[in-house]
Amino acid sequence: MQAIRAADTKPEMTLRKGLFALGFRYRLQVRALPGRPDLVLPKYRVAIFANGCFWHLHGCDLFRWPATRQEFWREKLGGNQARDLRNQAALRDQGWRVAVVWECALKGRGRLAEGEVIRQLAAWILGGGQHFEIGSQASFRASFQASAVSGDLTASASPSSSSTV
């Protein structure tokens, strides 16, 4: 885990600054919660993960399978993905609402404007819903994750579908 989620990555800093500027207050890397969420907003019962697309096996254009040691990486990254889903389910069981902001939402060719990502996340925090997920535009077309957890993603937002705030 230590190696997977480096603290103070740029996407995470973008989220912190953006949410703080809107008046949200949060705690960082809460170890007591499943998966150690990057940001936790106790007031809204919200846990936020800023996930790197490689380590968390996102179906987007930032992700590529390594050319070597393929078996190792399939096991490793597949294990990471399975653990992420378990942690999110455990959080929901404890009454937490879970948001996943993928690296590709803020980085790479398909990225969205920072303000747009923050706006959608803030709207979800205030508006309710069990699950929020945002990545690059392309990741929504190519995602092979959604099918694995489709039952839990009914409230998931996409850049093209949200029009609130």
Footprint of Zn ion (CB under 5 A): 53, 58, 60, 62, 102, 104, 135, 139
Reported for 37-45, long-range contacts at CB under 8 A and 24+ positions apart, including other chains, are 37/91, 37/98, 38/5, 38/12, 39/12, 39/15, 41/125, 44/97, 44/125, 44/126, 45/95, 45/96, 45/97
Q: Is 41 or 53 the residue whose CB approaches Zn ion more closely?
A: 53
Pick the closer one to Zn ion by CB: 63 or 124.
Answer: 63
Instruction: Report in angstroms how near the CB of residue 136 gets to Zn ion at its nearest.
Output: 6
- Report the C-alpha gap between 83 and 69 in whole angstroms: 21
Which C-beta is closer to Zn ion: that of 130 or that of 137?
A: 137
Nearest distance, CB of residue 135 and Zn ion, angstroms: 5
Torsions phi, psi for 78 (to 5 deg): -60, -35
CB of 24 vs Zn ion, minimal distance in Å: 24
The smaller minimum CB distance to Zn ion, of residues 26 and 54, is found at: 54
| Residues facing residue 133 across a β-bridge | 100
Q: Yes or no: say if 37 and 47 are a contact pair by the CB < 8 Å rule.
A: yes
- Supply the minimum distance, in Å, between the C-beta of residue 110 and Zn ion: 8
Residues facing 7 on adjacent strands = none
